[in-house]
Amino acid sequence: MTQVIGGMGALGSVLAEVATKQGATLRLNSPVASITKTDDSVSGVTLASGEAISAKLVISSADPRTTFRDLLGYQQMEVGMARRVEHYRSRSGTAKLHLALSALPQFAGLTDRQLAERLVITPSMDGMERALNPMKYNEISTQHTFDISIPSVADASLAPTDQHVLTAIVHYVPYAPDLGWEAARPQLLAQLLAELEAYAPGIGSLVTASELIVPSDLEASHGMTGGNWNHGELSIDQALMMRPFPGSTQYATAVDGLYLCGAGAHPGGGLQGLPGRNAAKEILKRGALS
């Protein structure tokens, strides 16, 4: 498994350092309140502080809904485009489970060395179908798919000596459970630990701390509409040359000077950098900077 030593935050720090050396100015903790448009093209941004910054191009890595609906505003686009933004699907059914463990858990049939790999635990195809149903009806499922990493196996700096951290992507989680997240969160956590126990007997007794991040948490903390870290479903009508939606594909949008460079553009999310690289190439190809 490819892993960033020092944790994912280390990747951000390196990228920031490289960008600064190349002459970029990074402004942290400076949320953009709106993208400004003058006549037919964008003309800059206004920060939440009220500061206005003029720019020939605005290249957004916020998700498409945030970019078009919240920052640009529907009054700045044609009705057909506003409708597409409104119909763009970005509700997530995926949570993230973090466990601090007092020792390395034992997964039946796996050696300690194999625990450095990505472990996918999923029900059968029929089981997946059944697991999905409660999610559709805003309930907690009794079966989940886990995509587990124990990064401390390869990077001891992530936990105290002989202790470990486990992180799992968990599928089939309702975006808005009928119970409300205050009651549903402990229920889901207990359910997930019970499911893990079947594969890693005794894991529950190793847990010294836990964190369950549900889609609405990500929506609140990172401004990802629907809590979707792909910035929108990667289903066929929202993928490839149709991402995020017709009329605003291939990084250039229907609004002159406004580009997308994040996971809402092709090929979607993950720490791969491809939407940004492709957006940069498209901007250079169009000579949009000159």
Ligand X SMILES: Cc1cc2nc3c(=O)[nH]c(=O)nc-3n(C[C@H](O)[C@H](O)[C@H](O)COP(=O)(O)OP(=O)(O)OC[C@H]3O[C@@H](n4cnc5c(N)ncnc54)[C@H](O)[C@@H]3O)c2cc1C
Binding residues for ligand X, rule: CB under 6 A, are 31-32, 61-62, 66, 71, 96, 213, 218, 222-224, 229-231, 262-263, 269-271
Q: Kind and range of the H or E element at 206?
A: helix 203-206
For residues 263 and 269, is the Cβ–Cβ distance under 8 A?
yes
**Of 130 and 223, which has the nearer Cβ to ligand X?**
223
* Cα–Cα distance measured from residue 118 to residue 153, given in angstroms and rounded to the nearest whole number: 11
In the complex, the smallest distance separating the C-beta of residue 70 from ligand X, rounded to whole angstroms, is 7
State how far Cα 18 lies from the chain centre.
Answer: 23
In the complex, the smallest distance separating the C-beta of residue 19 from ligand X, rounded to whole angstroms, is 13
* Cα–Cα distance measured from residue 239 to residue 286, given in angstroms and rounded to the nearest whole number: 23
In the complex, the smallest distance separating the C-beta of residue 200 from ligand X, rounded to whole angstroms, is 20
**Of 169 and 254, which has the nearer Cβ to ligand X?**
169
**Of 71 and 104, which has the nearer Cβ to ligand X?**
71
Point out the residue whose Cβ comes nearest to ligand X. 269
In the complex, the smallest distance separating the C-beta of residue 12 from ligand X, rounded to whole angstroms, is 9
**Of 83 and 118, which has the nearer Cβ to ligand X?**
118
Give alpha helix (H) positions in the chain: 8-21, 64-65, 79-87, 125-136, 181-199, 203-206, 215-222, 274-286
In the complex, the smallest distance separating the C-beta of residue 205 from ligand X, rounded to whole angstroms, is 25
Pairing of strands 119-121, 94-101: unpaired
In the complex, the smallest distance separating the C-beta of residue 97 from ligand X, rounded to whole angstroms, is 10
**Of 204 and 269, which has the nearer Cβ to ligand X?**
269
In the complex, the smallest distance separating the C-beta of residue 192 from ligand X, rounded to whole angstroms, is 15
**Of 222 and 281, which has the nearer Cβ to ligand X?**
222
Q: What share of the chain is helix, strand, coil (3-state, %, to 5)?
A: 40, 20, 45
**Of 32 and 166, which has the nearer Cβ to ligand X?**
32
Which is nearest to 8 in space by CA: 165, 147, 122, 120? Answer: 165
In the complex, the smallest distance separating the C-beta of residue 5 from ligand X, rounded to whole angstroms, is 13
In the chain, the largest separation of any two C-alpha atoms, in whole Å, equals 65
Helix, strand, or coil here: 42?
Answer: strand
**Of 61 and 191, which has the nearer Cβ to ligand X?**
61
Which is nearest to 238 in space by CA: 87, 45, 26, 14? Answer: 87
- φ/ψ of 143, rounded to 5, equals -135, 140
State how far Cα 204 lies from the chain centre.
Answer: 27
* Cα–Cα distance measured from residue 266 to residue 249, given in angstroms and rounded to the nearest whole number: 8
